[in-house]
Structure 1
Amino acid sequence: MLRKYRLGIISLFFCFLMVGLAGCQFGGSPAEKMYDHLEEAVALEDQFREQQEPLAKAEKKEQDIYNEIVALSMEEFDKIEKLSKEAEENAEQRLEYLKKEKESIDEAYEEFEEVKDLTEDLETDAAKKDAKSLIEIMDKRYEAYGKLHKEYKAAVEQDQELYSSLQDKELTLEQLQEQIKVVNEKYGKVAKHKESFNKFTSEFNEAKKAFYESAELNVNYGE
């Protein structure tokens, strides 16, 4: 019987999102140019945000399939095999969402880097200080996302290994337990890096507001 063994962790991937602003048009002074690059970076993360809902739905679907598998006995191996293949395909779709997500984050960060050469041209020491803090936090956020992406991708690939192994009639209980352990350890790391990424995203949003204030940019905060 497989019913005693459960995957345990398929973690929803919703993360804090960078806050964008609305109603301002700048582009002249160094501070205004920085504003334009910062808000364009937010816009470039749209695709990242768009992947969150389908990714979460795919995770939920996969968990439901897995729960259905573990409720079956080996006498129903044909059903186990069919469901395992379906779960494998679903995991592959998650990797596609993840790829689009990373492309969006990379493009946004590339745009963000345009602000780095503008900081020394800011008019006040307060603005320079806040800009440097902003850059430091964003660099940490991007690094945190890199780790999150790496671990999540590895976790999905381990899911695929699990589903593939479930299609083997010769799979032993010990082998199954070991693979489930590996999967859960991977998602434990995902949760850790997701927390770090969310933390730096929240800090970035606050740092950006502080910079806009010290640079005396009259911005309108969108709802």
Structure 2
Amino acid sequence: MKLKVLLIGLVSISLLAACSGESTTEEMYGHLEEAVELENEFVSQQQPLNELEEQEQAIYQEITTLGMDDMEQIISLADEALQSIEERKELLVAEKESIDASKEEFDKIEPLISDIEDETVQTNANEMYEIMEERYQAYINLHDTYVVSLENDQALYELLKQEELEEDAVTEQIDKVNAQYEKVIEANNTFSETTDAFNESKKTFYESTDLNVTYE
């Protein structure tokens, strides 16, 4: 009943040498790569999130081996799982703040696109911008879907703590948990795909300019 969400981040690209006097594309480069830096906090949340997911999975598996005679131990384990969920909620807050800050920096390129004189470069810049908009919306959907998933997990563990436990109620909640996990997986795939697409579109944009860049 568990998944491991793996999120990929933006690719950092270095400017080898700048021209004298900042051009429009160089100014855009500054905002684009600053946006990458601002996502570092987002990237750093992924390992602890995955570790907490694995911890919760281990707790759940242990609970499934216990019977009603082990109610005290079940309650203790359920409380551990609930604490893990709270910790993940906190990590999600930091993750979203990082994405929002990155998006705010990225949006600074929008008014600069119309200043690009080369038609091909401007077209590539517009495509890159549109893909980032799609990526951000994909992240918001993933974030919101994951939050609901955590709420479903939370409801399950609260249910398991009840001494007068109805099997039908538990089964119904587990079905709800699993259905939401499927939505998280789908949302995660969409976000990963749009991140890949953006990284490619940024590379195409840079290659169409006179910027001297190197890929890390």
Determine if the TM-score, normalized by the shorter chain, exceeds 0.5: yes
2:3 matched residue in structure 1: 11
Q: Secondary structure at the match of 1:122?
A: coil
Segment of structure 1 superposing worse, 51-60 or 17-26: 17-26
**2:186 corresponds to which residue?**
192
Q: How does 1:200-219 map to 2 (within 5 A)?
A: 200-219=194-213
Q: How does 1:50-65 map to 2 (within 5 A)?
A: 50-65=44-59
Q: Partners of 1:24 and 1:84 in 2: how far apart? A: 54
Answering whether residue 100 of structure 2 is matched by residue 106 of structure 1, we say yes
Distance 1:167 1:25, change over 3 A: farther
**Counterparts in 2 of 1:101-180, with a 5 A limit?**
101-180=95-174
Structure 1 vs Structure 2 CA RMSD: 1.1
Q: Is the 8 A contact 2:15 2:211 kept in 1?
A: no
The AA in structure 1 aligned to 2:90 is E
Paired with 2:79 and 2:212, the residues of 1 have a C-alpha distance of 55
In 2, Cα distance between the equivalents of 1:14 and 1:50?
12
Whole-angstrom CA distance in 1 between matches of 2:16 and 2:67: 62
Query: What is the Cα deviation at residue 37 of structure 1?
Result: 0.3
SS at 1:36's partner residue?
A: helix
**Structure 1, residues 152-198: CA drift from partner, whole Å, max 9, x if none?**
01101110111111100112000000000111111111001100000
Residue 21 (1) aligns with residue 13 (2): yes
Tell me how far apart the structure 2 counterparts of residues 123 and 103 of structure 1 sit (CA, whole Å): 34
SS in 2 for 1:64: helix
Alignment of 1:73-84 (within 5 A): 73-84=67-78
Distance in structure 2 (CA, Å) of the matches to 1:11 and 1:30: 43
1:22 positional shift: 2.9
Alpha carbons 2:24, 2:115 under 8 Å: kept: yes
The structure carrying a bigger strand percent of its residues is: 2
Displacement of 1:23? 5.0
Match of residue 72 from structure 1: 66
Q: 1:39 aligns with which of 23, 28, 33?
A: 33
- For 1:91, the equivalent position in structure 2 comes to 85
- In structure 2, runs of 5+ residues without a counterpart are none
Q: Between Structure 1 and Structure 2, how many residues are aligned?
A: 214
Shift in Å, 1:217: 1.0
Shift of 1:16: 1.8
- Unpaired segments of 5 or more residues in structure 1? 1-7
Runs of 4+ residues over 6 Å off in structure 1: none
**Displacement of 1:24:** 3.9
Paired-residue identity, %: 42
Q: Distance in 1 between matches of 2:23 and 2:205?
A: 14
Find the residue that maps to 1:220 and give its secondary structure.
strand
Task: Quote the Cα distance in structure 1 between the aligned partners of 2:100 and 2:5.
Answer: 18
Task: Please tell me whether the aligned partners of residues 17 and 212 of structure 2 are also in contact (alpha carbons under 8 angstroms).
Answer: no
